Each structure stands twice: as C-alpha cells, then as structure tokens.
Structure 1
Amino acid sequence: MTPSMTDRGTDALHRIATRKAMLRLIPLMGLIYFMSYLDRTNVSLAKARLAVDLGISAAAYGFGAGIFFVGYALLEVPSNLVAHRVGPRRWIARIAISWGALSAAMMFVQGEYSFYTIRVLLGIAEAGLFPALMYMITLWFAPKDRSIAVGWIYTAPALALFIGNPLGGAIMQLDGLAGLHGWQWLFLLEGLPTIVVGVILWFKLPEKPSDARWLSVDEARALEARAVPDSARANRLSNDWVAALKQPATVLTGLIYFLNQVAFVGVVFFVPAMIQQMHVQSPFMVGVLSSSVGVGVLLGVLIVPRIHRRGTHDCLYLGVLTGGLVVSAILFILYTWLPVRLALFVITAFFGGGVLPVYWAISMKRLQGIQAAAGLAFINMIGLIGGFVGPYLFGLAESASGKSASGFSVVVIASILGLLLVPLLSQAIQSEGREVNLNQPLVDAEQ
C-alpha cells in the first residue's frame, strides 16, 4: 500500500470519527450550555416584576445581573485545572447540579441584597463550565474542525434566547398560581431540569475518544492523533500552565473578548426592557420579540465559523466581524422605528454572537494540554468580567436617561476599543509563531 493510499484511508477514518463525535458528543455539550444560558439570562424577563414586587431599581438590577460574572470569573482558572485533573465529565456534571439548585433558589429572593447574594453564588457554582467544554474540544477535534464544533455549541445560547424568552414569558403568566409570583415560577421551572441534565451527563458524557463506546479503537486513535497535531510543541509547552497566562496573544484575546462581552451581554440582559419601552405590554409578546436576539446569534454561529474555516487570515476576519458590530450599534442609535430596531437586534446579535467561535478557534490553535485548560479558562475569566461590566453600564445608562436603549452607546464604545486591539493581537500571534520556529529542534525540521 502506497503512503498516499494510507493517508487517504486515515483521512477517511478521521472524517467518519469526527462526524460521529459531532453527532454524539456535541448535543450533550450543547444541552448543558443551553441550560446554563437559560438559567443565566431568565432574570432579564423578571426585571420589570422584580422592580414592582421587590423594589429592585434598574441600576440594582444591572449590578445584580452582572455580579453573577464576578464569582464566575474569579474561579475560572482553578475550576478548569480541577477539570483537567479529575476529568471534565465529573466536573461538568457537578457544576450542572449545583448551579441548577441555586437557579431554582432564586425564587426566594426578597430584595436587593439577597438578589446579589444568590447571583454571586450562582456564578461561583457555574464557574468553569464553558472552558471545560472548550477544553474537551481540544481533546476531541482537529484544529480545522474546532470552529465548527464550537459554533454548534454556541447554537445552545442562541436557542436559549430564541426558545427561552417566549417560554419564560409564558411561564411568567403563571403569576398568582399557588400563591407564587410569575418570576418565582420562572426560576423554579427552569432551575430544576438542570439538575436532571447534570445527572444524565454523569452517565452519558465520555471524557475523551478512548472512553466512547460508540467509537471503534481505530476511530478513537484517529481523533486523538489529529487533536494534537504538533506533538513536539505540545510536549515542550503543555506542562507549564502558567506560561499560557503570560503570553501576550492570550491576554489580548481575553481583552478583545472582554469588550465583546461588555457590549453583547449588556444587550442580552436589556433587550426585554428595551422592547417594553417600545409600548409592548404582554409578557409573552415581550418574550417573543426578545427572541430576535436568539435568531441573530443562531445565524451567526452557524454561518460565521463555516466562512472562517475556509480562510487563513484569522485576525482580519475578527476585525471585519467587530467592525460589523460597531456599524449595527450605530444604526440602532440612529433609527427608532420598532421594525427597524428589531432587525438591528438580529444584525447586532449576528456579529456579537457569531464572532465568539472565532475567539476560541484562534486560541485553540496555540494551546494544548494543561495550557489549554488554563489559557482558555483565563480568556473566559477576562471575558466574564466584561459580562459584569456590560449590564452594570447599561443599568447606569438607563438610570441616567430613563431609556434602556441608551445602553447601545456602550456597545459602540466597547466595540471600537475591541477593533483597535485586533492589529495588536495579530502582531502578538506572529511574534509567538516566530519564537516557536526559533526554538524548534533541528530534528523536527529534518522530519
């Protein structure tokens, strides 16, 4: 058998194994991320009733919505290092069960301080979920397939916004049933299923290809071999997780992601309030119209990674997407007609959500092993701080102007700052690549 025939056979085996992994693994990973986003953002639908029933102001709501990300961010790196040590299956299941219980406990909020407390605890419980999922991607998929895999996982929050907002609006209409407010039913009925999903993951989620019963031995080996294509570099770097946190490209990716989250998370948490101020009164209709953001994210995460897969200029592509976010936000400020603003919700979410898989695909090309566990968690930690800052700034903007839509000025400023950092990221990645080439042993070049 000629080498070319062997290569073709290996490629075909890897394609089959990758397809199986996409069909069997990604739905489980997407399911838990769907539940996390549902439990994380359902508070946006409760905003108006929390103000009426508990006296929680717009600024206090923005602070409470965002403070979730503080506890989440501070424990990202330690949590993902634990996931690397004990295995992502056990750790992800533990995360799901604990945060599902706390999400349901949101029904017991009595005022601002209890609101803040449970939101912080919810963030602490969920810490490490997303980077653990991203770490699993590095164990299962070749670099060229990762943006597609991450894009499929990102359909989960898109569907959570698309399905969850109308569903949450319908649940809110249970107000008064069994003496509970509608928002109490919302937190209870969307928190308890997460505990069930966590139990399912404990039994059904394989940690690595060799653990999957639905893969043959050869298929598992093919996946694991392609998941770390540069074995020499991985062996040199993967044992030093602190080094991943010091790399300029890692820090810059985190800062750009931070600015994206300032803009995008702020929009997500305040879209229902914006729609209510457009004279839409029915909680169900508010939920339905708010799902326009989910439509935009869904289109973005399905389309953007497939275009990115065909290109080679990562940072140029990243800059184009960030620029699109700037333009859509400016247009939203300029036009106030409801149909136009609904369309711009979709477009803004397309760019703001669609760019997310690109961040992770760029980062995964550079990080392997424990460096991937630490580096990806560090990037997510920085981004999550943006998840706190964004809603808080949106809340301050609404308190100052009386209009939720004034928060779009935050989107414009944050996106422009992110766009200015993209050339610096490109230089850092190029410099890092030159350093790796200089340190490459001669035996590698001869091979």
Structure 2
Amino acid sequence: MHMDLEKRTLRKVSWRIVPFIMLLYFIAYIDRVNIGFASLTMKADLGFTASMLGFGAGIFFWGYFLFEVPSNIVLHKVGARMWIARVMVTWGIISAAMAFVKGPTSFYIVRFLLGAAEAGFFPGIILYLSYWFPARHRAGVTAFFMAAAPISTALGSPLSAALLELNGVMGLHGWQWLFIIEAIPALILGVVVFFYMTDKPEKAKWLKDDERAWLVGVMNAETASRAASGSKHGIIGGLANPRVLALSLIYFGTSAGLYTLGIWAPQIIRQLGVSSMTVGLLNAIPPIVSVIAMVVWSRHSDRTGERTWHVVLACIAATVGLVVAAMANSVVGLVAALTLVNIGISCAKPPLWTMPTTFLSGAAAATGIATINSIGNLGGFAGPAMIGWMKDRTGSFSGGLYFVAALLVLSAVLTLLLARTRKPTVTRGNAPAH
C-alpha cells in the first residue's frame, strides 16, 4: 500500500513539475547562448573580433556570479513562484534589448545585465526540486530538467539559423530579429509561472490529502535526518563548507565545456565552409544524442546510488571529445567529436548536482547550491573568452579547445579526491552515497 502511495504521489508531482521546469530552462538556455548564432552575422555588422565576442558572451557569467547567492536566498524566503516569475520577466526584457546594441561597450553591458537578471533561476530550480523530490529520486529528475539545455540547442539551432534569414525585414538585421523573437517566450512564461507554480508540498491543492501528507512527511524526515547528522543549515554553513568549494571547481570545468559548445560550436562548424542553415542543422545533432545518454546515465546513477564515477567517466569522455575536435578537419569527424563532448558534459551534471543536497539543508542548501553554480559558471566565462582570445592570436580554435579539455581533467581529478574525503553513509539504492 505504501509503495502504491509513493508511486502515485511522485508520478503526479513529476508530471506537474518536470515538463514545466524543462520548458523554462529550455527558454533560459536559448536566451543565454543564442549569441552563438547571432554572431554568425552580427560579428561583421558590428565589427567585432573573436576576442570581443568571447569576452562579451562570457561576461554574462560575471553578472550571474555576483547576483546568484543573494537571488537564491530571496527565493528561499519569498518562494519560488514569485521569484522565478520575476527572474523570467526581467531577463526577457534584457534579452530583447540585445537587438539594439551598437558596439562592444553596449554589448558587454547588456550581456552583464542579462547574467544579473537570470541569476538565481538555475540554482533556484535545483533548490525547488529538493523541496519536492526525495534524495534517491533526485538525479533522474535533475537529468530531465537539465536535458532542456541540449534539447534547446537541438531545436534552437535550426530556429536561430532560420531567424537570421529575416535580414532586412522592417529595416532590421536578422540577428536583431533573433534576439527580439526569442525573448518573447520568457516574458509570457514569467506570467504563467506566477499562476501555475506551487511553492511547497504543503500548499499543493492538486495532491490528494494522503499524497500530500506522505510527501510532506518524507521531505520533513529527510531535513530532520540531515540536521541530526550535523549537516549545515545556516547561510554561512553553505558558503564556508570546503566540499562546496570543491564542487564549485568541479562544476567550473563542466561549465567551461558546456558554454564553449553553446557559444562557439556554430563558428567552429562554420569554418569548415558550410552555410548558416547547415550549421543550424549540424549543431542540432550532438545534443539530440546527448539527451538520451544523459537520461540513461542518470537513471543508472540513481539505481546504483553511485555518483563519483558517473561524474569522472563523463568528464573524461568530454575531454577526449574536445581533443579530437581540436584536430578534426572534416565535417563528420568534427560533429562526431562534438557529440562526444556533449554526451560527457550532459552526463556529468545530474549526478554532480545530487551531491550538495546530501550534506546541506535549509538556508545552507540555498547558499551552497547557489555558490557552486555561481563559481562553477565562471567556467562559462573562462572557456568562451579563452577560445576567442586564442583564435585571434593563433587563427585557430585548437588552443582554446585544449585549454577547456585540461579544465575537464581537473574536474575528474577533484571528483575523485572529494570522494576520498567522504565516508559512504548510505546503502545501495538509497540516497546518493558519494
């Protein structure tokens, strides 16, 4: 009977929450990396060098970094519904403003503001999931949420390429239309969030009484057991925990990989002499494959309760892919290498995100998750900026790709070191042990 109740409740919660947050992240990710496609024509129109482009694309993450922790603390206080609605409307407005940048300075300012506006969205959702799903189910759910990033590349690439074809309509460039049209869903969904989202299981009118009581009981028991085991609760506990810092550095490498792909893959494919539309179609292949790999890998991680090797092996796969991409000189070889990078980075993240919520709770979880995400996402500055800088210096993408590969090796090594400092606390099939 108890198993029936658990299954029924979690199925209902999953259907209510997961597709919706996937849609939100889908839009967030498109607005974050559509600069990669816009730059195919924007670069020439505004006279940008590769360094300017890499720096401007990456400065987003400094805005993100500075406002991430405060944003997640506010979300923990006022509730996800109100705060995520606010985040989405703000970033929709600023994303549309990208259409009106005139040169490097306005480009840098608007990208920085976009990062500041979007800060708190991703860690806010990770925190939100920790209110609704027991720890042993979390990697699988997180994988579905995070699958929205590769899916948005798969669907967004041909869409962005098609929007570039609107060049000259009503006197605007194609890249201007791209920013305006792709900003509209964020504005609409921001309003929808306010009416659709439920802050906590206690407030879920759409659950039956027995389902709500079971879920509230399980989640409260998890919070109590973390408190009993000495897990950190306070804001400072989340910021000052050495494991939080280690996870931030691990995440730094995976973010450098993710945003290198998001921002530079269109240009890397383009240099093999294909059209914008072909770039759009080819760039959609790697993420489609990686979504399937990511869900299978995360489910395996949940089933076995093993986290460490699921992160390490995925980082190594991405490293190999980057090295091969740096040497590839055919379209087939390059797309195959980019596919391997996509698989590795996508598979590393869900098991990695189950780790902080096993030793942090309450306000410490809000700050700890936000700290990992904000420091880690500076990799999204380092990777793309280094690739642009190396491209201007050497005329090739290879040096930058080797740099990002080295960061992923570091992520793999740190994951192993982190596992050695922790005692396994849980049995197989239960909440994540390492």
Encode CA deviations 1:379-412: one digit per residue, 9 max, x unaligned. Answer: 1011111111111011112112212354321232
The partner residue of 1:155 within 116, 133, 147 is 147
1:331 aligns with: 324
The partner residue of 1:121 within 76, 101, 113 is 113
- Residues 62 and 391 in structure 1, CA contact (< 8 A), matched pair in contact too: yes
Are 2:206 and 1:219 equivalent residues in the alignment? no
- Residues 231 and 359 in structure 2, CA contact (< 8 A), matched pair in contact too: no
1:14-413 → structure 2 map (5 Å cutoff): 14-230=6-222, 231-234=224-227, 237=231, 239-281=233-275, 283-413=276-406
Encode CA deviations 1:55-84: one digit per residue, 9 max, x unaligned. Answer: 111100000000001010111111000000
TM-score computed with the length of structure 1 as normaliser: 0.91
* Deviation of the 1:95 alpha carbon: 0.1
Q: Within 1, Cα distance between the matches of 2:293 and 2:235?
A: 32
Q: Within 2, Cα distance between the matches of 1:178 and 1:21?
A: 45
* Deviation of the 1:331 alpha carbon: 2.6
Number of residue pairs the alignment of both structures matches: 424
What SS does structure 1 have at the residue aligned with 2:147? helix
What SS does structure 2 have at the residue aligned with 1:175? coil
Encode CA deviations 1:260-282: one digit per residue, 9 max, x unaligned. Answer: 1122211221000011101102x
Q: Within 2, Cα distance between the matches of 1:401 and 1:229?
A: 57
Q: Within 1, Cα distance between the matches of 2:345 and 2:330?
A: 22
* Deviation of the 1:90 alpha carbon: 0.5
- Residues 273 and 404 in structure 1, CA contact (< 8 A), matched pair in contact too: no
Letter in 1 for 2:377: L
Q: Within 2, Cα distance between the matches of 1:146 and 1:423?
A: 21
Encode CA deviations 1:357-395: one digit per residue, 9 max, x unaligned. Answer: 111112222222212111111110111111111110111
Query: CA separation of 1:55/1:406 partners in 2, compared to 1, >3 Å: closer, same or farther?
Result: same
* Deviation of the 1:303 alpha carbon: 1.8
Q: Which moved more, 1:224-233 or 1:337-346?
A: 224-233
- Residues 94 and 114 in structure 2, CA contact (< 8 A), matched pair in contact too: yes
Q: Which moved more, 1:400-409 or 1:286-295?
A: 400-409
RMSD of equivalent CA atoms: 1.7
What SS does structure 2 have at the residue aligned with 1:430? coil
Encode CA deviations 1:73-116: one digit per residue, 9 max, x unaligned. Answer: 11111100000000011000000000001001111110000000
Are 2:400 and 1:415 equivalent residues in the alignment? no
- Residues 268 and 293 in structure 1, CA contact (< 8 A), matched pair in contact too: no
Q: Within 1, Cα distance between the matches of 2:326 and 2:385?
A: 19
- Residues 267 and 408 in structure 1, CA contact (< 8 A), matched pair in contact too: no
* Deviation of the 1:237 alpha carbon: 4.4
Q: Identity of aligned pairs, percent?
A: 33
Query: CA separation of 1:409/1:154 partners in 2, compared to 1, >3 Å: closer, same or farther?
Result: same
Q: Within 1, Cα distance between the matches of 2:231 and 2:349?
A: 26
Q: Within 1, Cα distance between the matches of 2:294 and 2:12?
A: 21
Letter in 2 for 1:128: G
- Residues 164 and 177 in structure 2, CA contact (< 8 A), matched pair in contact too: yes
What SS does structure 1 have at the residue aligned with 2:305? coil
Unpaired runs of 5+ residues, structure 1, are 1-8, 435-447
TM-score computed with the length of structure 2 as normaliser: 0.94
Q: Within 2, Cα distance between the matches of 1:50 and 1:175?
A: 11
Q: Within 1, Cα distance between the matches of 2:233 and 2:408?
A: 35
* Deviation of the 1:211 alpha carbon: 2.0
* Deviation of the 1:226 alpha carbon: 2.5
Q: Within 2, Cα distance between the matches of 1:242 and 1:313?
A: 29
* Deviation of the 1:320 alpha carbon: 1.5
Letter in 2 for 1:365: T
Q: Within 2, Cα distance between the matches of 1:410 and 1:295?
A: 25
Q: Within 1, Cα distance between the matches of 2:225 and 2:193?
A: 34
2:429 aligns with: none
Q: Within 1, Cα distance between the matches of 2:400 and 2:217?
A: 47
What SS does structure 2 have at the residue aligned with 1:429? coil
Q: Within 1, Cα distance between the matches of 2:285 and 2:399?
A: 19
Letter in 2 for 1:367: L
Letter in 1 for 2:411: G
What SS does structure 2 have at the residue aligned with 1:214? coil
Unpaired runs of 5+ residues, structure 2, are 427-434
- Residues 150 and 290 in structure 2, CA contact (< 8 A), matched pair in contact too: yes
* Deviation of the 1:238 alpha carbon: 5.4
Structure 1 stretches of 4+ with a deviation exceeding 6 A read none
